[in-house]
Amino acid sequence: MVGGFLLYFSVLPHPLATPDSPHSPGLISKYNSSGDPGSGQDWTVYVGGGTQDMSVMTMGFFPEIITIDAGDSITFINNSSEVHTVTFLSGNPPINPFSPLADVKIGGNVYNGTTVVSSGMLLPGQSYTLTFTNPGVYIYQCIYHAGMVGIVVVNPAGTPYPMTQAQYNQVAYQEVTQSLSNGESIFQQVNIPATPGPNGTTVWHVNAGLTTPAVASVQLTPASGSDVTGTAQLAIVSPGEMSVEVDLSGLTPGKTYQVQIFTGASEAGGRLTYTLNPVVGGSNGTGTSITTVKVEPLDPYIPGSYGIPAASWYVNVSSGDTAVSLGDVIAPAASAMRFLPSTLTIHVGDTVTWTVNAPDEVHTVTFVPQGMEIPEFGTPVSLIPAGGPVFNGSGYYNSGPLLPGQSYSLTFTVPGVYTYVCLLHDNMGMYGTIVVLPNGPVNSQQLAQLSTMLNQLSGLSGRVYNNSAQISQVDARLSSVYGTLSQMNATMNGLQNSTASQGTLMQVVNARVSGLQSTLIVLVILVIISLLLNVVLITRRR
């Protein structure tokens, strides 16, 4: 989902148009023609995008709205690390994103506005070209990601184009930049409080992926020669409820204006979708209305997918049958393809609950033991929940696919450092770490176990990344940790050889251990995280 722009053209017949669809005639002059009209022009739309480290993925088509002529073609290029589809349903029933039909190409490479055509699964870097033969306003989507929607407006052959490809590229760049900026802000906003558990334990909460808030700001532009301008603010305030605030100026005092949301494009009309509270012009020519409306999930196969579509809505303000102000709804958003927080330190007996809070994503929480390859998502072992609710430190644990709004919980009973992945997005670096500490002070046996673990990981890193500069940094951290461990072991040996009483000995040891425990934990976590992120997952990859 992305930030947007507005295009205004003359009215065209199209599948969404209805007799009462308000339009904005005469606004073709909003843009100067940026190219000679013709037939057979080729255009490019970019599907998705993301940050270089793949931590943030946009869920939109760039540009979200593109206007072409009949006979022209659009090449859709998957520009992200996610898989996507380009699917025109033409009013037909939606396709289940979990069915094999979602993955296969449907129809050919020519679209007449009435049939179902789909690219099928587009892997990163792949493209799909479609030629449009009939004028109309056509909504398309990614089957896999609820709310990832774009619009193609097709004018009759010979109509001047509103923009060149270079100008559309600039719009796309601005949309991607806004979307990624919103996505990166997620990492500064994660603050999930822990809750009390049974018997003095704690329940910790982790976001399994996260999407920017479902909000959109619409600039309303005058139509039909009016002076009415304003904004509309849309926001999903709770599952199934959307709040819309409309603020207008340039109104006639005392006059009532109707406000509606249509599905379509403001330049060509559409079908009525939501009726909002009217706005009455005040004495100063301004007015406001606030409406809460019930909304359906973006995908009927994903009940928790409440959000605002990236495109395909527009807000229309009218006086009688005449539109006086309107604007397309473009919802800028992105998904953080990470577990947040990515590293969590808990104690034995505590529980961790992962929740998918992204309406357009599906994730898994999967602990893969050493020696086992990460399962390919879609295989039976990846889809079936495994391991039960109590994690004992070994074995294969899997949540199975978690849909938006669903959760998965594990109670940890054995101290250790455990990594887990999302089976759909492990190649994008979506993995996390749970550090489980024992209750009470750390004793010499537990320190020895930590030391053994570090030695094993260090040996593995040496075999895989002998020439890696990153491992050199890790080795430096390891040396620091080993130094701390050696000091602690020497202190403990000295205390054990002294003639002090056993009670005094234990008091001194515990005091020494407690004093260094915080430092050791921080160092251990840093080292293990670095190793796990750079070694363990890579060696498991196929």
Quick one: CA dihedral 100, 102, 105, 111, positive or negative? positive
DSSP state of 251: P
Statement: the pTM of the whole predicted model exceeds 0.75: no
Which is it for strands 127-132 and 110-111: parallel, antiparallel or unpaired? parallel
pLDDT at 283 exceeding the cut of 90: yes
Helices 469-497, 444-464: inter-axial angle, 10-degree rounding: 160
What pLDDT is attached to residue 359?
86
Is residue 304 a contact partner of residue 239, using CB atoms and an 8 Å limit? yes
> Higher confidence at residue 528 or residue 463?
528
Q: Mean pLDDT across the stretch 412-439? A: 95
pLDDT level of residue 472 (50, 70, 90 thresholds): very low
- Nearest-angstrom CA–CA distance, 215 and 237: 9
**Lowest-pLDDT range of 176-190, 222-236, 421-435:** 176-190
pLDDT at 329 exceeding the cut of 80: yes
pLDDT at 110 exceeding the cut of 90: yes
Percent of the chain with pLDDT over 70: 74
pLDDT level of residue 332 (50, 70, 90 thresholds): confident
Q: Mean pLDDT across the stretch 172-192? A: 86
- Nearest-angstrom CA–CA distance, 136 and 269: 10
What pLDDT is attached to residue 526?
52
- Nearest-angstrom CA–CA distance, 340 and 342: 5
Quick one: CA dihedral 455, 457, 463, 466, positive or negative? negative
Q: Mean pLDDT across the stretch 507-534? A: 47
- Nearest-angstrom CA–CA distance, 222 and 236: 26
Q: Mean pLDDT across the stretch 476-503? A: 42
Q: φ, ψ for residue 394 (rounded to 5)?
A: -150, 165
Q: Mean pLDDT across the stretch 320-336? A: 93
pLDDT at 264 exceeding the cut of 70: yes
Helices 444-464, 502-531: inter-axial angle, 10-degree rounding: 20
Region label for 95, one of left (φ > 0), alpha (ψ between -120 and 50) or beta (otherwise): beta
Quick one: CA dihedral 311, 316, 321, 325, positive or negative? negative
**Lowest-pLDDT range of 127-131, 175-179, 258-262, 470-474:** 470-474
What pLDDT is attached to residue 448?
57
Report the chain's mean pLDDT, rounded to a whole number: 81
- Nearest-angstrom CA–CA distance, 12 and 269: 8
- Nearest-angstrom CA–CA distance, 144 and 401: 13
Query: What does the CA dihedral 345, 347, 348, 354 come to, rounded to 10 degrees?
Result: -50
Is residue 44 a contact partner of residue 74, using CB atoms and an 8 Å limit? yes
- Nearest-angstrom CA–CA distance, 329 and 342: 33
pLDDT at 340 exceeding the cut of 90: yes
DSSP 3-57: ------------TT--TT----TT-GGGS---S---SS-EEEEEEEEE-TTSSEE
Q: Shortest CA distance to 43 belongs to which of 10, 12, 77?
A: 77
For tokens 């090449």, the residue is 75
pLDDT level of residue 451 (50, 70, 90 thresholds): low
Q: Mean pLDDT across the stretch 455-479? A: 39
Edge-to-edge order in the sheet of strand 431-437: 343-347, 431-437, 416-421, 366-367, 397-398
pLDDT level of residue 449 (50, 70, 90 thresholds): low
